[in-house]
Amino acid sequence: DELTVFMEYDEPKKVQKTVVKPNLSKFGPIFKGDSPKVKQAIEDAESLFNALSEELKAKVSNEAKEKLANARNEYDKLKAKDEADTNVANEVVALIDAIGTVSLDSEAAILEAEEARDSLTPEQLAKVSQEAKDKLTSARATYDALVAEKEANDAAIKAVEDAIKAI
C-alpha cells in the first residue's frame, strides 16, 4: 500500500518519485523443469533487487516483489520435484542393473524392476534412459524364453519317461 502525504508549501513544488519496476515478464505464469534461463533470470532480478538501498527497495512495487518471490518459490518447488523424480528414476535403473545375467532365478528381480517402473509417473519415467528401458525389456524376453525352453524340455522328458513306463 502506498501512503500519500500532503504538505503545504509557499510555492508549488515539483516532486519526483522513483519507482523501480524490474521486467519480470520473462518468467511467465508457469515454467517447466530446470530451465537455466529461468534460473538465471530469477537470480539476475534478485541480484538487482538486493543491490538496491533499503530506501529504493521500499519503492519497488509490491506487485514486482511478490512476482519475484513467487517465481523463486515456484522455481524452487519445481527444482525439488525434478530432483526427487530423478532420484526415483535412478532407483528404478539400479533395480534394472541388479538383474544382472538373466537366468531362471531372475524372476523376482525382473518383477521388482517392472513393478517399480510401472509405478513411475510420466515425468519420472522420462528420466529413465532408453538403454535401461531396453535392458529391462530384454531381460523379460530372455527370462520368458528360458521359461518356455525349460517347460518344453520338461514336457519332452515327461514324454520320454511316460513312454518308458508304458513298456
Q: What is the pLDDT of residue 32?
A: 54
**What is the predicted pLDDT for the residue at 74?**
87
Q: What pLDDT digit, counting tens, does each position of 37-84 carry?
A: 888 889 999 999 999 999 999 999 999 999 999 989 988 888 888 899
Q: Which three cell numbers stand for residue 37?
A: 534461463
Is the model's pLDDT at 112 over the cut of 90?
A: yes
Q: Is the pLDDT of residue 134 over 50?
A: yes
Question: What is d(CA 79, CA 76) in angstroms, rounded to the nearest whole number?
Answer: 5
Measured in whole angstroms, the distance separating CA 1 from the mean position of its chain's CA atoms is 38
- The packing angle between helices 107-118 and 130-165, to 10°, is 140
Cα gap 143→146, rounded to integer Å: 5
Mean pLDDT of 78-107: 94
